[in-house]
Amino acid sequence: MAHNTQLDDKRRTVSELGRRMLQQGLTKGTGGNISVREGDQIAISPSGIPYDEIDPEDVPVIGIDGEQVAGDTDPSSESRMHAGIIRERDDVGAVVHTHSPYASTFASLDEPVLPSHYLIAFVGDEIPVAPYETYGTAELAEAALDTLGDEYNACLLQSHGVIATGEDAEAAYEVALMVEYVSRVHYQALNAGDPEYLADEEVADLIEIFEGYGQSGDTETAIAEPATDLQTEREAVADLGREMLAQGLTEGTGGNISTRNGDRVAINPSGIPYQEIDSEDVPLVHIDGEQIAGELGASSEKPMHLQIMRERDDVGAVVHTHSPYASTFASLHEPIPATHYLIAFAGKEVPVTPYAKPGSEELGAAAVEALGDDHNACLLGNHGVITVGEDAEAAFEVALMVEYCARVHYQGSNIGEPVHLPDAELEHLFDRFSDYGQSG
């Protein structure tokens, strides 16, 4: 086979994503596999080799027919399934197969994951389940392909795991992350009560929105002039984005952060992985919504951030997360009550909004109403969390406390009846927290 530099890049991607899949808990041991297409050739994980030992040169190459054409290692035992999906779906450039635990729980139940969280739309109106077939067989490949059809970007494999697809490797990997995330939220919501499900038309709207998610190259949104001022605010957005990911407050590119200086606001760019965002990548917008600097378009949730800042003079920063325990209560449409004293960082409870379309003025208005003047956080129905503070560090601290209190309340409710703090004690806590820390 003649040397192919682009195929070398695909082999490198398979090697890198395998390590990431292991680090992010999407598989254990040598389970799962990844493939990336380059023309009529496919770079695919080698069979049975630990991910942290796979270098790019160890990644074999198969043809679109599934036959090996290059490499000294044997291709994954699931090469039939990967090749079949890529061959039959012109829109698929990569396949990620995981054994992620929450999604695999539903696979073991032979139950689809239902739309209790809006990020299901990365996949479709649900995450369907393919019937069980022995691993590595043509029958499993056919079952997966039949279940995906033309409309789903992922499916569960009964008593096995997950298949996720995308136009390229990063897109397929993002789908795999979202499958595990929404499976976790759905599992926890079922444990805690009765989730509120999104209507078919709401999911259809979301699927359409996600088709244009990320950087579109729209010159009316992103402008050529780089952001050169508000250095402190832009650094805070970049740094806290990485911290949000590291602390488990979001997955993939979900969530967003903004911080203001007067009438100008630094906010993270849309659809860019947090680990790739430096301060110079952070766009600036005017509080009226116009982007005034930055080569990348601002977050799709810009309307919500700016509405909150316009309505609350005390708010200097907004943090929007998809933290899993808090998002569980968002999917239940239930507030987080005061069963732990740290709820006072947010208010007497963490209220919840009705569902509204992400990125819409309606979602911003719902968040403003739920926050009112008395709350520093609210849940967004079937979506996630909004927290606010006088600066970015304060808003991020509230986000951490909301997720902590949500987890404590979830776990307490699973084994008993948590005790609720009285209003008088909460008022006392508000006074204590108002001057918490070093006074100088």
Write out pLDDT tens, residues 370-399: 999 999 999 999 999 999 999 999 999 999
Q: Residue 384: in which H helix or E strand, if any?
A: strand 384-389
Q: Convert the pLDDT of each residue in 188-197 to its tens digit.
A: 999 999 999 9
Q: Which residues of the chain have pLDDT under 50?
A: 1, 217-219
pLDDT at residue 1, rounded to an integer: 47
What integer pLDDT is reported at residue 219 of this predicted model? 39
Query: Is 165 within 8 Å of 172 (Cβ atoms)?
Result: yes
Could you tell me the two tokens for 185?
């939220």
Active site residues: 301
Do the beta carbons of residue 156 and residue 107 sit within 8 Å?
A: yes
CB neighbour list of residue 120: distance below 8 Å, 6 or more residues apart: 113, 114, 126, 127, 178, 182, 198, 203, 206
* Three-state secondary structure call for residue 369: helix
132: which DSSP letter? P
